[in-house]
Structure 1
Amino acid sequence: MDKRDLVIRPIRAEDIGAVQDFLFTQLQELFAQDGQAAITDDVWGLGKTYLEPDNCNMWAVFTPEGTVVGTAAICAYNGRIELLKGRYHLPTTAEVGRCYIDAKLRRQGIGSKLVEAMTQFCKDHGYRTMYLHTHHFLPGGFNFWQKQGFAITIDQGGSLEIVHMEKIL
């Protein structure tokens, strides 16, 4: 598949089923080891989480046939992580999430295109900081985010290998 044939765009209501299928497959492949399970409330409620609020969005990467092969999302950071309490000005902090690319298409610049779309969205919506957390065990994840200009704020390590990162806009 030629990456030039792929289409990156914000998801619409009619895309939700296909996007959920893609995300659940990615979560199973990436987080099933060692009994790890990713929280999926936002995946079950994609429309409510990413489409309804004006300051949130989700993008998907589609093949010419309409198959979802990548995703990324932005939502307002809500201060939910105890370790980070007080670090961020909540009205101007966006949380990056659900950034996954089909394994066969990784390392071809698709994720970078998604980050460009998310960054522009954040700037357009008054966000000044993009926050995310990743895990060292995710294939290429940590290095990818560093190359995108995200800096480590806290490396929790531990069995989940969680790394908190941010990018100032």
Structure 2
Amino acid sequence: MRPAEPGQVPAIVDYVMAARASIFPQLDTTKVPDDLARFDEVYLGDGRGCFLLAWQDSQIVGAIGYLPYDRRFSQLRLPGTDTVEVVRLFVSPSCRGAGVAKALYAALLAQALRAGVGTLYLHTHPFLPGAIAFWQKQGFEVLDIESDPVWQTTHMRLDLEAASSRPTLASS
């Protein structure tokens, strides 16, 4: 797992957009999300964001990132400025089941701990096979499940102070 570098941004955006289109066909695939459009600023800029990649034979096969949480979900009560949102966990189909997601997350967790992050927040959806169970195995707790019949957005969090004292997460 390696941090993203400025020269890799076009390849990263291409990888994430293709993965996103295959997983979320209901989304507009022509509009690049803000975090990707401002990749350098969001993930490579002031050190508050992080983006990691898994590589195989000089090809990106996995990605994960975090960025400062923007409080856009008013129903959630998350701690102050040390909360980040875990985003863009994608693993190429040919590498799924090989531990790539777990390794990406472990590297992200280590970086978050080094950066003094207090809380990891993320949201996922029950139509993504194994996603909720994966995050629960990493120690995340469910905060809220939205009632929207299509998305059923499932909001989750992990308190890093508590997590860092658990052997399974601290040694990841």
Tell me the C-alpha RMSD between the 2 structures: 1.5
1:48 aligned to 2:38? no
Report the number of matched residues: 157
Match of 1:26 in 2: 19
Residues 150-161 of structure 1 mapped to structure 2, 5 A cutoff:
150-158=140-148, 159-161=150-152
SS where residue 133 of structure 2 aligns? helix
Q: Deviations over 1:10-58 (max 9, x none)?
A: 00001111111110111110111xx334871112221111110212110
Structure 1 length as normaliser, TM-score?
0.87
Match of 1:98 in 2: 88
Structure 2 residue ranges without an equivalent (≥5): 161-172
Question: Contact 1:135 / 1:161 at 8 angstroms: preserved in 2?
Answer: yes
1:72 aligned to 2:69? no
- Deviation above 4 Å: which 4+ runs of structure 1? none
SS where residue 90 of structure 1 aligns? coil
Q: Matched residues in 2 for 1:151 and 1:97: separation?
A: 16
Q: Matched residues in 1 for 2:6 and 2:144: separation?
A: 36
- Equivalent residue letter for 2:124: T
Measured after TM superposition, the shift of residue 160 of structure 1 is: 0.8
Instruction: Give 2:119's match in structure 1, choosing from 108, 113, 129.
Output: 129
SS where residue 72 of structure 2 aligns? coil
1:145 aligned to 2:135? yes
1:62 aligned to 2:55? yes
Structure 1 residue ranges without an equivalent (≥5): 1-7
Measured after TM superposition, the shift of residue 94 of structure 1 is: 1.3
Question: Contact 1:76 / 1:90 at 8 angstroms: preserved in 2?
Answer: no
Measured after TM superposition, the shift of residue 89 of structure 1 is: 2.0
Question: Contact 2:21 / 2:27 at 8 angstroms: preserved in 1?
Answer: no
